Amino acid sequence: MSRAMAAENALDRTSRAYRYYRNAVERHWDPAEIDLSVDRERIGELDAATFDDLRRTLALFGAGEEAVTEDLAPLAVVLEGIEDQLYVTTQLYEEAKHTDFFDRYWREMILPATDDRGLERSSPTDERWFFPAYYELFDRNEAAMARLLESDAAEDLARAYSHYHLTIEGILAQTGYYAVQMNYCGETPGLPSLPGLVDAFTRIRSDEGRHVGFGMAKLKALVRTESVDIDLIHGTVNDLLPLTQEVARTAAASDEDAGLDEDDLTAYAAEKRLDRMAQLTDANADVSGVEEPVAPE
């Protein structure tokens, strides 16, 4: 045991990491308790192309959450502060919880709706839902995180946070949350309200706000105190940008006019990238992660 338990070494309850930890505890939610009763009826209102779009969206999110759950483990190994460790345990738990929700929605909503339509059942892991840019983006994230087990130098940490927290969660995932919440809120012409799905995405988005905020704060600290060149972060994000744009564009592709289109989502992803980079270069910028006020008080 490396940490002495003297009074002066007690938890720093004013630290950002500890406050994010407490924020996660206080905002706990259970995927099994999301009410999906209305969704089960409304999914039947989707036309064939839009139902297929929804299945693809859920498959992409489910696989993404599963991947980041696995990929986060190296960060838990190299973080040293107990407050950081407390926080990262909540992120691991939340990524697993998100994976659980997407599996539940597929089993309880998508599979029965597939049967109702007389279609062949499909697994959310079927190759049909995925494409090269998606695989490459998550493979790069996995490699950046795994690299930490070989070297946790400041530059390697910066690359890891830039892949995971800034790009995957802070740009790509936020774009996807925005699309689903907008499309199925009940105010988009041609699409029904799916309140259970929107409720879950709202909760997931709040969780991810903490994750993005933590990673962004770490990046700002690496630039400020560890002399990491901001150009390293810019270069990493810019290198991943074509992949994030391709994933957003492909995920939005549809034969129907309902909902947000490719241009809407690629523009939103580009805006999120600019926002994140501005937060890094502005010493006074908020790094809460999303538009909701999830930053610790």
Distance CA 169, CA 289 (A): 9
pLDDT of residue 9: 61
pLDDT of residue 296: 38
pLDDT of residue 1: 46
pLDDT of residue 269: 77
For 239-276, what is each residue's pLDDT tens digit? Answer: 999 999 888 887 765 545 556 667 777 777 778 888 88
pLDDT of residue 8: 55
Distance CA 173, CA 208 (A): 9
> DSSP string covering 232-286, please?
HHHHHHHHHHHHHHHHHHHHH--SS-SS--HHHHHHHHHHHHHHHHHHHH-TT--
Nearest to 211 by CA among 277, 281, 164, 152: 164
pLDDT of residue 175: 87
The radius of gyration of the chain's CA atoms, rounded to the nearest angstrom, is 20
Q: Give yes or no for residue 56 having a pLDDT over 90.
A: yes
- Average pLDDT over every residue of 5-18: 78
What CA–CA distances, in Å, run from 40 to 15, 135, 212, 226, 235? Answer: 43, 31, 32, 51, 44
Q: Give yes or no for residue 58 having a pLDDT over 80.
A: yes
Q: Give yes or no for residue 80 having a pLDDT over 70.
A: yes
**The two three-digit tokens of residue 257, written as one number:** 């006019």
pLDDT of residue 252: 64
Distance CA 179, CA 177 (A): 5
Q: Output 144 or 275, whichever has higher pLDDT.
A: 144
CB proximity list for 180: less than 8 A, separation 6 or greater: 57, 197, 198, 201
pLDDT of residue 176: 86
pLDDT of residue 77: 94
pLDDT of residue 174: 87
- Angle of helix 82-105 versus helix 195-225 axis, rounded to 10: 150
pLDDT of residue 22: 96
For 192-206, what is each residue's pLDDT tens digit? Answer: 999 999 999 999 999
Distance CA 21, CA 33 (A): 22
Give the pLDDT band (50/70/90) at residue 287: low
Give the pLDDT band (50/70/90) at residue 285: low
Q: Give yes or no for residue 20 having a pLDDT over 60.
A: yes
Give the pLDDT band (50/70/90) at residue 295: very low
